[in-house]
Amino acid sequence: MNPNDPNHLIAESELRDALQIHRPEAARFAQVVHQRVAELRSEVATRASASEQKRLDWLRTAASVIPLPLLAKGAGGALGKGVGTGGPWAAKVVGWLASGPLILLLAAGGFLLGFQRIRSAQRRSASAEPGDPSNHQRVTEAWWKASGAFHIAICVAAVLLMLIGHTVPALIVFLVYGIAIVALVTRLGQQGLIDRTLLAMGIAQALMVWAGLISVVAKASRGTFLLDQSLAAAIMCLGACVVALCGCVTAKLRLQRIFSVVAVIPLLILVAIYGSSALFPMTHQDVRTYVESTDIDRFGAATWQRWALAAGWLRDTGQPFDPAQPRASFEEALAGDKNPYVMASAYRGGLVDLADAKKILAAHTERAALLSDPSRRGRWLSSIEQRAAEIYSLEQLGLLTPEDRAVLADRLIATINHAATSEYGTLKEVLVATQLLHAIDRADAMVQVRNRVHAMIVDFQYLETQRLFNRAGGFRAYRKSDSSDESATAVAVELMQLHGVPNEVDTLALRSFLRPKNTDARNRQGAILRVVALWRFESLPDAPSLTWWDYLRREHVIGMAILAVLLSVTAVVGFPSAQMTPEASEADQQDK
């Protein structure tokens, strides 16, 4: 056939031959599809129960905010029977009504309204005839009689709810507090009985009480927050400082003025304590100091492993540190029992030189030779964390042939597969195996296990929010553990750096777990692990970045604290102090 013929066609056999190389293997294809179907089925089941739990969570939130009779008509059925079985629309509406941003928005509206009422009371007070001071107590008592019990009952109920449930009921306390301030100020303003000093003292005390309470509640917090909830207490203490200074510095009596200034000092200390997570955040220098020092008892293998996570971060980001002290500890361990965990940690921290590698290997020469024995190809390494140092040493001394590497890579992949499927497999084992794959230049083999590792990471994330004093969002050390662990979380984040972030990981909850706390000074190691994990996670290209909306959704308690403080300051500042009024001046003159 003439190839120049315009009707000439390329032969079909040629086309088939050209594409043959890309042809999928039929049996394997079908097997993978069936396997994927099985995985999807279990994923769907897990997701369904998680989403049901989530829905119940927001319904519980709603139940603590919305009056129960309303729930009984709408989503009450859903609350009782479980969402999805009845009235999902009503449940959704109630959930939205109780959601953080909406409450914050309503509270902001309430704040503006309250602000307006206080301003008008202030104007009325300025133009009104000064009332009889003896009336002051009578009016206050009348107000307490009328609505005090109601306010106290709501606050007590909210506090109880806070201690057994979410921090959202704290919002009710803030609302009640705001309403009480506005009502009292308006009533006293109408009677011309407002005195800035008196008002400031009362409000400052109330703010201090609530700050203390919120700080306790923050410790029991079970929600997903992005900032330390003790910041709300810090803001309230700061508000108490400002209110005390505004109201009391211009007080009539010198003793009152001195007292107010002195009272501000412990309040500022409280601000520093509660707000330490924002005022004194953990820095890179802190991490470096931790890695360089051996002051924190670095005697056990577990402590060395935590040290390796921090040192690994410094090495990965190219931050130099002085290894003198950890090196001395390592040499001690090398001369002693050569604890394999310590040796592997030292490798991660870059403390091992060629001479050390020889010493490590000398202790296990025969055992190390079996690592890459071809007859053991495909068999998983039963104690990978204990054998890691041997593999690193073999690699460092250049004793691995290409065949050895291939056998080792197979065994490491088998180890990852075993850890990912075994009931007792840990993230740490997977991380060590993955790092060893990198060390022996076989990172390409990771592709084979990526999906399994992703599934394992998702499985290990602990998202249970129904337990007090238990921060959800971190990762479990073991599959069956019922709490998050700081070391395991740092390990999981390192794994995500190597294998990518699975779509199913709740990154907001993870950030919430890693957020700094005001108690970090008492748990230095834990704080270092969390901050290193947070920095590592934020450096990942596939980690979603936070938006203002995320903060608005999660930080309603802090938002409400700010509004309450603003309202308090507004209430105090607008009224004249007793010292400034003509009556006070006259009284002063008469005293003199």
Interacting residue ranges for other proteins, rule: CB under 8 A: 3-4, 6-10, 12, 14-19, 22-24, 26, 29-30, 32-34, 36-37, 39-41, 44, 500, 541-542
How many other C-beta atoms can be found within 10 angstroms of the C-beta atom of residue 92? 17
Shortest CB 31 distance to other proteins, Å: 10
Shortest CB 35 distance to other proteins, Å: 8
Phi, psi of 485 (to 5 degrees): -130, 135
| CA 256 remoteness from chain centre | 42
The identity of residue 242, as a single letter, is V
What span, in angstroms and rounded, lies between the C-alpha atoms of 546 and 548?
7
Residue (of 205, 156, 198, 195) closest to 176 by Cα position:
156
Instruction: Give the residue with the Cβ less far from other proteins, 6 or 336.
Output: 6
What is the maximum alpha-carbon separation in the chain?
127
What span, in angstroms and rounded, lies between the C-alpha atoms of 493 and 502?
11
Instruction: Give the residue with the Cβ less far from other proteins, 22 or 592.
Output: 22
Buried b (16+ CB within 10 A) or exposed e, 468-491: eebbbbbbbbeeeeeebbbbbbbb
Phi, psi of 323 (to 5 degrees): -90, 10
Instruction: Give the residue with the Cβ less far from other proteins, 38 or 106.
Output: 38
Which residue pairs, CB below 8 angstroms and at least 24 apart, start in 37-42? 39/455
Instruction: Give the residue with the Cβ less far from other proteins, 14 or 337.
Output: 14
Shortest CB 10 distance to other proteins, Å: 4
Shortest CB 9 distance to other proteins, Å: 4
Shortest CB 543 distance to other proteins, Å: 10
Instruction: Give the residue with the Cβ less far from other proteins, 97 or 498.
Output: 498
What span, in angstroms and rounded, lies between the C-alpha atoms of 168 and 156?
14
What span, in angstroms and rounded, lies between the C-alpha atoms of 536 and 544?
13
The identity of residue 447, as a single letter, is V
- Burial class from Cβ neighbours inside 10 Å (0-12, 13-18, 19+) for residue 337 reads exposed
Instruction: Give the residue with the Cβ less far from other proteins, 16 or 219.
Output: 16
Instruction: Give the residue with the Cβ less far from other proteins, 166 or 499.
Output: 499
Shortest CB 385 distance to other proteins, Å: 27
Which DSSP letter does residue 145 get?
I
Which DSSP letter does residue 477 get?
S
Instruction: Give the residue with the Cβ less far from other proteins, 29 or 89.
Output: 29
What span, in angstroms and rounded, lies between the C-alpha atoms of 374 and 408?
9
Shortest CB 504 distance to other proteins, Å: 13
Please spell the DSSP secondary structure of 252-278, one letter per residue.
SSHHHHHHHHHHHHHHHHHHHHHTHHH
Which residue pairs, CB below 8 angstroms and at least 24 apart, start in 325-328? 325/292, 325/293, 325/294, 326/291, 326/292, 326/294, 326/298, 326/351, 327/351, 328/294
Shortest CB 18 distance to other proteins, Å: 4
Residue (of 508, 473, 519) closest to 492 by Cα position:
473
Instruction: Give the residue with the Cβ less far from other proteins, 10 or 335.
Output: 10
Shortest CB 308 distance to other proteins, Å: 24
Instruction: Give the residue with the Cβ less far from other proteins, 15 or 72.
Output: 15
Shortest CB 33 distance to other proteins, Å: 5
Instruction: Give the residue with the Cβ less far from other proteins, 14 or 297.
Output: 14
Shortest CB 444 distance to other proteins, Å: 11
